[in-house]
Amino acid sequence: MKEHCLDIGSIQAFLDGELAHSESARVSGHIAMCDGCAVMLAEAENESAIVFPALEREFNSLVPTQRLWTRINDSITVERDAQPIWRKAWAYVSIALANPSLTAAASILLVVGIGVVVWTNQEPVGNDIALVSRPAASAPATAAKQPPRQIESADAGVDSDAAAASAPRQALNYQRASYQPTRSRERTDLSPVSSDARPAAEASSYMPGEDIYVKTIANLAKNVDETKDIVMRPAQRIAYERDMAVVNDAISKMQKEVKRNPRNESAKQVLYSSYQNKIDLLNSVSQKEELMASIR
Amino acid sequence: MIAAAFAALAVPAGAQGPWTAPIIRPVVIAPPDVHAAPPPPLLTDGHTSERAIAVDPNVNLSICVTQGSLKINGWNRKEVRVFVKDGAKFGFKVLEKGKQNDPVWITMTSAASKANPTTECIWGDEIEMDVPVNATINIKGRQTKTVIDTVRKANVKTIGGDVSIRNVSEGVLAVVYVGDVTVEGAKGGISLETTTGNILVFEAGPSEIGDTFKAKTSSGMISLQKVEHRQIEVGSISGSIAYDGRILNGGAYSLSTSNGSIRMSLPAETSCNVIAWYGFGSFDTEVPMKILTENISEGPVKRIHGLMGAGDATVKLTTNNGSIAIVKQ
């Protein structure tokens, strides 16, 4: 072990961070195993702790160390990044224009480009239009600013008014990125979008499957409300209403909890279970009525 | 409350055989008036009569009873005998005959009134029936106290009145709107339901692999003792649940109540996964359980998932408002 011990130079280089990564790892591994080298490292650290603060000003001001070079390079990088982009572009263009063949090619491209732009602006709106999605909820605001135009399909020549009447609501979620107002395609009234979107928003507030429970309960409750006074005596009504209150309370609490923390699977499970309890309770009234009717 | 319910399930010393099964005294939790069913029109001016008919041993008997105390007892004869005390004049109606010309499906008719001369419903102060032990009984009742003993299968639906069923070999279905349901020594698939009343079950089990046990009440407690089904689903809205028995390997047990406590009395060597959800209450166990996951932070739902033994079965316990306790037998 002794012949592999580190010399003080290596330890000092290790302390100064001058060793390569692999070498540094080897040295730290050896120090961890060797008590003698660990003592040497501790002594070197103590010496450095005394010497470096005393000489720091001299190091920083007089000696062009690696640290100084690093600072200079960092400053250059920052300054380069801060340079405006047009200045960079101009530098590239200047270099490029120094070559006559490149200059000629650029001139031809410029002329052709201008021609294409002029020709495109004269054509009626075609089928080469990008579709940009927009949220349905923002439709009224968009309509107030500029009448949006629907895109039912990418086929050219489709009469958009006729298609608008039959198109599914999802089609309203699209408009042209480069809008060209055309009188025949204007649509100012987007109220159906907002009214249709509202139930969709309500439905989306339910968890998967929850809306089925809610609809079922609503249907059952409607029937039971009409018949419960006939089917149940007052004492039974009290028990029924008490049970219903217990179930409703559980549902209310779980709904709040699920809204607060949608990832609470326990609350979801109890919520579904409570929905089922409510359905069973409502069903019991209906089934009792059926049984009473069958016993005549 | 639970302790009182178990105290009521006292087994008399020396009780043996199907005829001396333990006496179960239902525990009434709700106010007495809640158990009161709508009073039927009081039928008086009854007759006392008795009739009998030879039937197939596996006869299916459908009865409708509007009023009275109904007792059905199985015997080892190919015959149905009916005795009605102070009730309707009745007759048998054969709905279907078997290969040997014996009735395999019969019902009963009675003369209810001059306006409605025949009806499928009978009534009486006491109605006693003896049926083959392999008979299947289907009962519809309005206000009847029903006792069924030693038949193959029993299906009962009553609006009001307690139902007691014992020694059934191939399944029980009982739906009661106001009244207690008591089942003893029943085999097969069991489904018990009452809207306002308690459910008490003592010594039940499957007759075939896959038979399930279900019990549900809206207002009332559920007490199960020595139920040997592997799939048990028990639910109450306003009532406690008590389970005293074994947890079988591969079983799935679900006990839930919205407002009440759950108490399980299990052997010390029980092996199951326990998943407990509870809101306002606590969870305690005397049987050693290793907690796997636990979420008991503030909120309306707390959850504990624990392991007893090797975890050979699954037990789910849910109460929104009440405590959960697992005690050693």
DSSP states of B161-196 as a string? S-EEEEEESS-EEEEEEES-EEEEEEES-EEEEEEE
The pLDDT score that the predictor gives to residue B184 is 96
Round the average pLDDT of chain B to a whole number and report it: 85
pLDDT (tens digit, 9 = 90+) per residue, B60-81?
Answer: 999 999 889 999 999 999 999 9
Judge whether residue A123 has pLDDT over 80. no
Q: Which of B35, B181, B293, B301 to mutate to test the interface with A (most CBs of A within 10 A)?
A: B301
List the 213-242 stretch of A: residues with Cβ below 8 A of B.
233, 235-236, 238-240, 242
B198 touches chain A (CB under 8 A): no
A246 touches chain B (CB under 8 A): yes
Nearest to B238 by CA among A234, A217, A283, A244: A244
Cβ atoms of B6 and B26 within 8 Å: the answer is: no
Q: How far apart are CA B282 and CA B280, in angstroms?
A: 7
Q: For residue B24, name the pLDDT band (cuts at 50, 70, 90).
A: very low
A254 touches chain B (CB under 8 A): yes
Q: Shortest CB distance from B238 goes to which of A236, A246, A287? A: A246
pLDDT (tens digit, 9 = 90+) per residue, A70-87?
Answer: 777 777 777 777 777 777
The pLDDT score that the predictor gives to residue B115 is 55
Q: Shortest CB distance from A284 goes to which of B33, B218, B318? A: B218
pLDDT (tens digit, 9 = 90+) per residue, A88-111?
Answer: 777 677 766 667 777 788 788 888
Question: Which positions in chain A touch B304 (Cβ < 8 Å)?
Answer: none
Place of tokens 């909120």: B299
The pLDDT score that the predictor gives to residue B117 is 58
Burial of A92 from C-beta contacts in 10 A (0-12 / 13-18 / 19+): exposed
Mean pLDDT of B144-157: 95
Q: How far apart are CA A14 and CA A12, in angstroms?
A: 5
The pLDDT score that the predictor gives to residue A79 is 73
Judge whether residue A63 has pLDDT over 80. no
Tokens read off for B9: 């399930």
B277 touches chain A (CB under 8 A): yes
Pick B166 or A78 by higher pLDDT: B166
Ramachandran sector of residue B190 (left: φ over 0; alpha: ψ -120 to 50; beta: rest):
beta
Q: For residue A125, name the pLDDT band (cuts at 50, 70, 90).
A: very low
The pLDDT score that the predictor gives to residue B96 is 94
Judge whether residue A64 has pLDDT over 70. no
Give the DSSP H or E segment for B199: strand B199-205
List the 7-26 stretch of B: residues with Cβ below 8 A of A.
none
Burial of B271 from C-beta contacts in 10 A (0-12 / 13-18 / 19+): middle
Mean pLDDT of A116-124: 70
Cβ atoms of B213 and B232 within 8 Å: the answer is: yes
Residue A31's identity, in one-letter code, is: I
**From B217, which residue of chain A is nearest by alpha-carbon distance?**
A281
A20 touches chain B (CB under 8 A): no
pLDDT (tens digit, 9 = 90+) per residue, B102-121?
Answer: 999 999 988 655 555 567 78
Judge whether residue A242 has pLDDT over 50. yes
What count of CB pairs under 8 Å joins A to B? 95
A274 touches chain B (CB under 8 A): yes
Question: Which positions in chain A touch B159 (Cβ < 8 Å)?
Answer: 288, 291-292, 295
B66 touches chain A (CB under 8 A): yes
Q: Which of A227, A232, A240, A246 to mutate to test the interface with B (most CBs of B within 10 A)?
A: A246
Interface contact A295-B121, CB threshold 8 A: yes
What is the 3-state secondary structure of A224-275? HHHHHHHHCCHHHHHHHHHHHHHHHHHHHHHHHHHHHCCCCHHHHHHHHHHH
pLDDT (tens digit, 9 = 90+) per residue, B201-223?
Answer: 999 999 999 999 999 999 999 99
- Count of CB atoms within 10 A of residue B133's CB? 17
Q: Shortest CB distance from B258 goes to which of A269, A277, A284? A: A277
Across A96-100, A250-254, B21-25, the highest mean pLDDT is recorded for: A250-254
Of A182-196, A218-232, B313-327, where does mean pLDDT reach its minimum? A182-196
Cβ atoms of B243 and B263 within 8 Å: the answer is: yes
The pLDDT score that the predictor gives to residue B61 is 95
The pLDDT score that the predictor gives to residue A4 is 73
Round the average pLDDT of chain A to a whole number and report it: 68
Judge whether residue B145 has pLDDT over 50. yes
**From B140, which residue of chain A is nearest by alpha-carbon distance?**
A295
**From B193, which residue of chain A is nearest by alpha-carbon distance?**
A284
Q: Shortest CB distance from B300 goes to which of A239, A246, A254? A: A254
The pLDDT score that the predictor gives to residue A224 is 84
For residue A138, the 8-state DSSP code is: G
CB burial readout A3-27, b (16+ within 10 A) else e: eeebeeebbbbbbeeebeeeeeeeb
Mean pLDDT of B268-276: 93
Tokens read off for A28: 């730290």
Question: Which positions in chain B touch A287 (Cβ < 8 Å)?
Answer: 175
The pLDDT score that the predictor gives to residue A158 is 37
Q: Shortest CB distance from A284 goes to which of B177, B258, B300? A: B177
Nearest to A24 by CA among A9, A13, A39, A36: A13
Pick B60 or A289 by higher pLDDT: B60
Pick A32 or A247 by higher pLDDT: A247
A273 touches chain B (CB under 8 A): yes
Residue B305: which residues within 8 A CB-CB, separation 6 or more? Answer: B273, B274, B275, B276, B291, B292, B293, B294
Pick B260 or B34 by higher pLDDT: B260
The pLDDT score that the predictor gives to residue A122 is 64
Q: Shortest CB distance from A242 goes to which of B142, B238, B295? A: B238
Judge whether residue B33 has pLDDT over 80. no
**From B237, which residue of chain A is nearest by alpha-carbon distance?**
A243
Indicate the SS3 state at residue A77.
Answer: helix
Pick A148 or A101 by higher pLDDT: A101
Interface contact A270-B301, CB threshold 8 A: yes
Judge whether residue B7 has pLDDT over 50. no
B238 touches chain A (CB under 8 A): yes
Residue A158: which residues within 8 A CB-CB, separation 6 or more? Answer: A152
Tokens read off for A109: 């491209």
Interface contact A253-B318, CB threshold 8 A: no
**From B275, which residue of chain A is nearest by alpha-carbon distance?**
A266
Question: Which positions in chain A touch B222 (Cβ < 8 Å)?
Answer: none
**From B321, which residue of chain A is nearest by alpha-carbon distance?**
A250
Question: Which positions in chain A touch B31 (Cβ < 8 Å)?
Answer: 235
